[in-house]
Structures are given as structure tokens and as C-alpha cells.
Amino acid sequence: MAKKLDLERILSKQGFGTRKQCRIMIINEEITVNGEMCDDPDTELSLENLKFTVKNEPWDYREKSYLMLHKPSNYECSHKTQHHPTIYSLLPHPLVERGVQCIGRLDEDTTGLILISDDGQFIHKMSSPKHKVPKVYEVTCKHPVLQANIHALLNGIKLVDEDQTIAALAVEQVSEHVIHMTLAEGKYHQVKRMIAAISNRVEGLKRIQIGELKLPDNLAVGEWRWLSANDMARLSPS
């Protein structure tokens, strides 16, 4: 049997405010459910395939939130920022109210694919070093990248404050100054430190893939979208 909840609780769980605030919106006829206006906060509804609008904005009921964002430069992956706007300002307010968190932060000057969720198990699975989910970065370097540099990145580099050498899983040369580098770890400033260790410098850094999930060409900088079932399958660690 499909789970049911009253409309007031549903809206509150979805991040639209306290139960009192949601009750007022319902009584004020600001909510429609599956295409019909509903002004009774105590109406019990099945959560399966539930569609509703809040002040004419359409929403689907989602037990948990799973989304991707194309992070712009000069945004911080934190709710409490220091010098730049937060990436959470790019999301609808109800999602922020639900307590979504980014999975693996990117530096403020790094762009590209970032995953966001309020599912603690999913966040742990995607971020735990045990699962070693690969991530691919497009790295633009100041100086030309030589074949010897690529061999060094693949064979392992000793970084300051690290006990063991760190190696890239794969390195693909895109152009004289651009490589695609695949990593399984997520150490502090790892890409920049590895490139510095080969006597080069990162001029531009963009994450273009997590697991088998690539940053879509049609997702503009600063935009977000829900993860589809196919997206989720591409993220499942083996």
C-alpha cells in the first residue's frame, strides 16, 4: 500500500516552510495537487507519483533529493562562505531548506560537475575513500605537458605531507596544454599539487565526470537538474 501523508506535512517535508507556514499557504489556495486546487491542510494524499504546485511553480514529491550542478567559477561549496557566493544560492530555496549537501567540494576557482543530495547513505557511498569513485578533471596547464610528465603522473608522485606516492588512474592528452586526468582520491588541492610537482601550473580546472556520469553538454554553467535513474546507475560504485 502506498504511503500517505497529509498535505501540510508533505509540503513541510519538501522544504516549503514550517507546518504552520504550509497550512497558511494551503488555506490561502496557493497549492494545487495533481492539477486540482486543494485548500484543506489535513487532506491525506498518496506519495506515489504525487505532483503539486506551490504558488504556480510545479514540483514532484521526492523522498530524497539527488541532483547535479554545473558549478561556476568564484562560488564556494559551503553554506557559510567567506569570500564568494555559495553554490546553494543557485538552487531553489526549498532544496536548501531540506538540507542538501554537495558531495566532494570543488575550490572556488574550479568549475564543473558537482553532485548534491540530502541522502546521507548516498553521500557516504559517493565520497568514501573505500569506494574509490573515479573523477575526471579537464586540466589546463600554463606550460606544455610533455610525455614524460604524463608518465610521472601515471607512475606516481610524492607530494609534500603525504606518506605514499599518488598516481593518476588515467591521463589523456587533449592538446599541448590540456589533459584529462582521472583520480580516485580526493585529497586537498590534489590536482594542483600533482601538476606543481611536474614543474607546471594549473591555469584552469574543470571536473567533467564522476564515475560513468559525464557533465552534460546541455547543462549550462550555473544550472542544475535532477539526476535520472540512468544517471544514478552510472554513479553506482562497483
Amino acid making up residue 198: I
Residue (of 45, 43, 47, 44) closest to 64 by Cα position = 47
Residue 40 appears among annotated catalytic residues: no
CB 153 within 8 A of CB 166: no
Task: Give me the catalytic one of 107, 109, 161, 231.
Answer: 107
Which residues contact residue 131 at a Cβ distance below 8 angstroms, ignoring those fewer than 6 apart? 125, 237
* Neighbour tally for 39: CB within 10 Å: 13
Please report, for residues 32, 104, 110, 138, 182, the alpha-carbon distance to residue 185 in angstroms, rounded to integers and kept in the order given. Answer: 46, 11, 17, 16, 9
State the catalytic residues: 107
